[in-house]
Structure 1
């Protein structure tokens, strides 16, 4: 039949459509953690059969819908507890979809082996342990935690020494909302993100005339909380109004608002160290706190790499509000 795709192309197109639909569901769940998640409603979001959706979800994600939603609620709560913002535990529990503080405490202890209050108190020790683990793992991120210096309280602007002789400028900016097309990688943060950009996202961008557009990398999960094989990363590119995605690509809007913006220039394996100290040291000394918008890396593909030094160049953007 004229115009019919060959079998391999049909298979790729079908898998791409499944990826788009499942990403819609995952995004919807994250945006509605404080609400009851109805199976039929989620099936409609994905445009899958209500009768078969639970089985499709479990096969695609490797966990049932109920287990996934519970894990995301608890991981989100754990990240909020670790911010040091002083939010009441009950307020966090309700915001993450738990009906009472008691139900939240039971589920939290079952997941993480400690109470929410103990988790909050142990945040500095976990951060130090994660830095030590990153330092000892050459496939992830090298760090020199002892060389970092916290910023003076309330000082939001200027530069921050992170490691060695490297400094980052940190300033507060109001960023506009941005419409992006994205492809999602699920798995450990680290070198495979670069491979995903080079082998998957960049060829797609070039084939759609987007290789000169501003790009964003969005890591949705805290690797100190979420299992490595469950971490989600979105490779995003700015798209014009009316753009229609093809292949395994979905559309999203990165929200605008107030961000702490830090220019990073350094070896790619050190960017995890930069993220760690910005969120654990600079932020704690800034008089600000994170809110629930996503953090991201922003870069111009044409100027994101220095061939002479091998340095990566990007802006680390962290959503902030007053304490």
Structure 2
């Protein structure tokens, strides 16, 4: 019998249910995760859930959890120099440092200790690559539009020096926030910007949520996770009784201590700022990053210039004392 394609409404519903499962996995990596429990989270039959997961995510449930455990571990190894390899292994659900080391080498081609030792060079390479793309992009734009070349001193005159990390970071206790969110999957950068403009902002306007604080949450590290599998949540603050209309879902952004810095720049500049924050500020701060999500906060009065792409936001890194 020929199968009937999912309607758009059903496809969105499936996406929302699968997103709940993926979020639940990330929040419980340090505990045993079995198929019946995850099927219940998604409101699927345990009998069919494995095949539904494979069809939707493109990986078996076991392969996906294995990948996520190791990718989260790679992020912690880079950002938390004070944590031991065993502590990180236990945090992501491995029972011993030996089993963790074998799995990590299979995924990344090196031992956890070698990955940690190579972090400064990886971050330096990432910064150099991002800055080179930024400069080439500006040059290409100016060559293609000579009549629009920016004069020295204007907001478009963004040379390498302007990409240095200069934010004044302050550690603050932020409250938990209830948000409505829409999820984008794919390469960060221009794709995320289009998602905001073409999908998220129109949804907010249609639901009376203009002039409200918004959040951008990169759920994956593009230096670790393949670009096509990177996930990003565009979020808007909502009251406790708000009922999200499809295709949005509801989530709670955890409160607690965050390192917060005011950012002004373009989308490519945000990547540089995050790398500089982790490479330069965090090691000398007396703090370490924890497992809560990093995010960008866009206050209601945050400015955005569609002509130059320059925007304002606050970069927020979850931290705790050493």
* Same fold flag (TM > 0.5): yes
Are residues 165 and 220 of structure 1, via their aligned partners in 2, closer, same or farther at CA, if it must alter by over 3 Å? closer
Equivalent positions of 1:87-126 (< 5 A) are: 87-126=83-122
1:209 counterpart = 2:208: yes
- Aligned residue for 1:194? 193
Report the Cα distance in structure 2 between the residues aligned to 1:283 and 1:297, rounded to whole angstroms: 17
Equivalent positions of 1:1-323 (< 5 A) are: 11-138=7-134, 163-164=161-162, 167-306=166-305, 310-323=309-322
Report the Cα distance in structure 2 between the residues aligned to 1:140 and 1:254, rounded to whole angstroms: 37
Measured after TM superposition, the shift of residue 222 of structure 1 is 1.3
Ranges in structure 2 where 5+ consecutive residues have no aligned partner: 139-159
Ranges in structure 1 where 5+ consecutive residues have no aligned partner: 1-6, 143-161
Report the Cα distance in structure 1 between the residues aligned to 2:229 and 2:61, rounded to whole angstroms: 14
Report the Cα distance in structure 1 between the residues aligned to 2:104 and 2:43, rounded to whole angstroms: 32
- Please give the TM-score of this superposition, normalised by the length of structure 2: 0.87
Report the Cα distance in structure 2 between the residues aligned to 1:57 and 1:301, rounded to whole angstroms: 37
Report the Cα distance in structure 1 between the residues aligned to 2:135 and 2:50, rounded to whole angstroms: 36
Report the Cα distance in structure 1 between the residues aligned to 2:267 and 2:93, rounded to whole angstroms: 37
Measured after TM superposition, the shift of residue 85 of structure 1 is 2.7
Which stretches of structure 1, 4 residues or more, deviate above 6 A after TM superposition? Answer: 139-142
The structure that is strand-richer by fraction is 1
Are residues 88 and 77 of structure 1, via their aligned partners in 2, closer, same or farther at CA, if it must alter by over 3 Å? same
The count of aligned residue pairs is: 297
Report the Cα distance in structure 1 between the residues aligned to 2:307 and 2:125, rounded to whole angstroms: 34
- Give the secondary structure class of the aligned counterpart of 2:46: coil
CA contact (8 A) 2:262 2:314 kept: yes
Report the Cα distance in structure 1 between the residues aligned to 2:169 and 2:129, rounded to whole angstroms: 26
- Aligned residue for 1:151? none
CA contact (8 A) 2:213 2:298 kept: yes
Report the Cα distance in structure 1 between the residues aligned to 2:91 and 2:239, rounded to whole angstroms: 34
Report the Cα distance in structure 1 between the residues aligned to 2:198 and 2:233, rounded to whole angstroms: 14
Kindly report the root-mean-square deviation, in angstroms, between the aligned alpha carbons of the 2 structures: 2.2
Report the Cα distance in structure 2 between the residues aligned to 1:251 and 1:218, rounded to whole angstroms: 14
Measured after TM superposition, the shift of residue 61 of structure 1 is 0.8
Are residues 253 and 141 of structure 1, via their aligned partners in 2, closer, same or farther at CA, if it must alter by over 3 Å? farther
Measured after TM superposition, the shift of residue 210 of structure 1 is 0.7
Measured after TM superposition, the shift of residue 138 of structure 1 is 4.6
- Aligned residue for 1:3? none
Are residues 215 and 184 of structure 1, via their aligned partners in 2, closer, same or farther at CA, if it must alter by over 3 Å? same
Report the Cα distance in structure 2 between the residues aligned to 1:301 and 1:196, rounded to whole angstroms: 19
- Aligned residue for 1:156? none
Post-superposition Cα deviations, 1:188-232, rounded to whole Å, max 9, x if no partner, equal: 111111100011111111111012211000001111111111111
- Please give the TM-score of this superposition, normalised by the length of structure 1: 0.86
Measured after TM superposition, the shift of residue 301 of structure 1 is 5.0
